[in-house]
Amino acid sequence: MLAKRIKPMALQARRLYVETMFQVMGRALQAVSEVDRSVQEEARALPDGFLFEMTVMPNGPKLVVEHQGDGRFQYLTSEPPRPVDLSIQFKHIAHAFLVVSFQEKTSVAFANDRMLVDGDIDRAIRMTRILNRLEAFILPKLIAERAVKEYPQSLGLPEKVLSAARIYLKVATHFVETARAS
Amino acid sequence: MSQHYYEFFCPVKVVAGKAALEHIPYELSGLSASRPMVITDKGVRGAGLLDPVIEACEEGGQEIVTIFDDVPPDSSKEVVRQIASAYREAKCDSIIAIGGGSPIDTAKAVNILVSEGGDDIAAYAGAGVLKRPLRPFFVVPTTAGTGSEVTAVAVIADTEKSVKLPFTSSFLLPNAAIIDPRMTLTLPPHVTAMTAMDAMTHATEAFTCLAKNPLSDAHATAAVRKISTNLPRVMENPKDSDARLELAQASTMAGIAFSNSMVGMVHSLGHATGAICHLPHGLCMSLFLPYVLEYNLEAIREPLGELLLYMAGPDVYATTPTSRRAETCIAAIRKLRDQLWQYCELPRTLQETGKVSEDQLEAIAHSALDDGTIMFNPKETSIEDIRNVLRRAWG
């Protein structure tokens, strides 16, 4: 009886967790593109105005970022102004949860057919590299190793801590600005 | 609880062996098709490979309504439109593709247009656009390597926009793949070697990359055993039809394996080198395979060691210590490549091809890094890693 009552709450909590993580990741993508040169270099290859979406099928949570040019992303808090150029779609909220709770690496989720790519596959690979770089920065090494295929050996502790602090500060500021605006 | 999960799908009926072509009329009638169009290329017709198919059909009371034999090596939107128009004019109701990768991919695209309607194949590009089965479609491969007869993808060039259009749908899979030893019996030694190494790479990468699964493993190991045993036999005696059939089946099995578990960095490098230096795909696979396995070694030591049983046989496997099996497997691949060099001078390094210049390596590296297959490589790959592999493969 108790289990029956708890289950819907657990599912609701899972959905809420994915939604929250998408909001954090979207803002963190914007922040890391302002902080890290490697990410900027990767992003510069994308056309200006390029819209990237990560979403859950059929109408689940989503994050959308736009390449503003010069390697900078902007997280969009409202509906995108035009159809997105690249969409990575999780087939189910459970699959998105596995990835954003770092139980399954992004590359393994691709290999396990947890998600679909709608758009140019070259750009999906590039965006995955950017997401990996972001995760290596903002997650403690032990957790980041569960999220990415291989933790970058070249990423030293001072660079990681400094960049992570700047990214988190920018994410927090963005959350506050969004709250004030609404 | 294990997080492992996989998907496996192959609804293609495999019709393989002696007199397989003679099953085409029956298989067509089973799908209520009676007016097939043949799609092929000049090379296939020139090699006389259309004749046994036409004979088998006519003898079985099955008329071939029309034949399009001018598929170019890199098929385009325009060619697809032209063939679809010929199909409609002749009131055909099914397609038989005869050839290697290009005629098969072209026929898949033609089948989309004649089933779904319209003249612009670009409208159907992408993944999951098709929602229903297409017209009856058979494939008769004339090379033993691509595995296109069991893959759910096709690539067609849009020459106006200078881009390649990918099509992905399970509905692209043919209803049947007809594997007949007569169709590969006259394949020149050089092409036989390249295409067989393509299949070997499909199987090896399927068995060692991230999306490997028990069902693709079974197909991959069987394919490796067949290729390592029968490729030298065919190179020694090209008219050995039993060994030819084994290679053709291995190619199909490797195709089933990799289409369900994807491939890795050998393909990333191969796609990039093929596009920039215009080297045949199978040759690129043969070139890069040992170097990429060496690069991935520590991430794939266990499966690669297991693969030695199929690559070199039970005696070598049993006498090799577990800790050395992966290295011995790579050595067995190198030995096979050396044999192919002896038989037909199949290049083993980029330098030996004589068609790649050192200043192209940087462009190859950047293109390979963005290739979709890099995602499934077991090791995370940086641009510097790719440069290192290319330097080793240079020779």
Q: Does residue B114 sit within a domain?
A: yes
CB neighbour list of residue B5: distance below 8 Å, 6 or more residues apart: A112, A113, A114
Predicted confidence (pLDDT) per residue in B88-130, tens digit:
999 999 999 999 989 999 999 999 999 999 999 999 988 778 9
- Nearest CB partner across the interface for B370, out of A103, A126, A149: A126
CATH classification of the domain holding B84: 3.40.50.1970
Q: Does residue B323 sit within a domain?
A: yes
B295 lies in the same domain as B335: yes
Count of domains forming chain A = 1
Please provide residue B118's backbone torsions phi and psi, each rounded to the nearest 5 degrees.
Answer: 95, 175
Q: Does residue A40 sit within a domain?
A: yes
Which of B12, B11, B10 is CA-nearest to residue B260?
B10
Which of A15, A16, A34, A42 is CA-nearest to residue A173?
A34
**For residue B379, which residues of chain A lie inside 8 Å, CB to CB?**
149-150
Please provide residue B13's backbone torsions phi and psi, each rounded to the nearest 5 degrees.
Answer: -75, 125
**What is the rounded average pLDDT for all residues in chain A?**
90
B155 lies in the same domain as B289: no
CATH classification of the domain holding B280: 1.20.1090.10
End position of a domain, from candidates B182, B198, B229: B182
Which of B87, B102, B101 is CA-nearest to residue B144?
B101
Domain region containing A116 = 2-173
Closest-CA distance of chain A to residue B66, Å: 36
B292 lies in the same domain as B311: yes
Q: Does residue A68 sit within a domain?
A: yes
B224 lies in the same domain as B248: yes
- Nearest CB partner across the interface for B376, out of A111, A122, A148: A111
Q: Does residue A179 sit within a domain?
A: no
Predicted confidence (pLDDT) per residue in B322-359, tens digit:
999 999 999 999 999 999 999 999 999 999 999 999 99
- For residues B201-240, b (16+ Cβ closer than 10 Å) or e, as one string? bbbbbbbbbbbbbebbbebbbbbbbbbbbbbeebbeebeb
Angle B284-B285-B286 from CA coordinates, rounded to 5°: 90
Q: What is the mean pLDDT of residues B232-261?
A: 96
Contact A111 B379 (CB under 8 A): no
End position of a domain, from candidates B182, B203, B223: B182
Q: Does residue B311 sit within a domain?
A: yes
Q: Does residue A182 sit within a domain?
A: no
Q: Does residue A122 sit within a domain?
A: yes
Which of B129, B162, B121, B259 is CA-nearest to residue B202?
B259
B177 lies in the same domain as B211: no
Contact A118 B127 (CB under 8 A): yes
Strand ranges of the sheet holding B126-127, from the earlier edge strand across to the other edge: B126-127, B163-168, B153-158
Q: Does residue A66 sit within a domain?
A: yes
Domain region containing B109 = 13-182
Contact B355, B279 (CB under 8 A): yes
End position of a domain, from candidates B154, B182, B210: B182
Question: Residue A59: is its pLDDT beyond 70?
Answer: yes
- For residues A139-162, b (16+ Cβ closer than 10 Å) or e, as one string? beeeebbebbbbbbeeeeeeebee
Contact B146, B191 (CB under 8 A): no
Q: Residue holding tokens 């067509």? A: B28
The amino acid at residue B21 is: L
Residue in chain A closest to B368 (alpha carbons) equals A122
B66 lies in the same domain as B79: yes
Band of the pLDDT at A2, cuts 50, 70, 90?
A: low
Q: Does residue B2 sit within a domain?
A: no
Which of B155, B151, B156 is CA-nearest to residue B173?
B151
Q: Does residue B6 sit within a domain?
A: no
- Distance, CA of B121 to CA of B137 (rounded, Å): 17
Predicted confidence (pLDDT) per residue in B36-71, tens digit:
999 999 999 999 999 999 999 999 999 999 999 999
Q: Does residue B324 sit within a domain?
A: yes
Count of domains forming chain B = 2
B197 lies in the same domain as B289: yes
B2 touches chain A (CB under 8 A): no
ipTM of the complex: 0.86
pLDDT of residue B197: 97
Which of A107, A169, A99 is CA-nearest to residue A138?
A169
B26 lies in the same domain as B60: yes
B162 in the Ramachandran plot: left (φ > 0), alpha (ψ -120 to 50) or beta? left
Q: What is the mean pLDDT of residues B263-269?
A: 96
Contact B166 A121 (CB under 8 A): yes
Residues of A near B (Cβ–Cβ under 8 Å) read 98, 103-104, 107-108, 110-114, 116-118, 121-122, 124-126, 128, 132, 148-150
Mutation site for A-interface testing, chosen from B380, B382, B383, B386 by largest number of A Cβ within 10 Å = B380
Helix axes B383-394, B265-277, angle to 10 degrees: 70
CATH classification of the domain holding A107: 3.30.1050.10
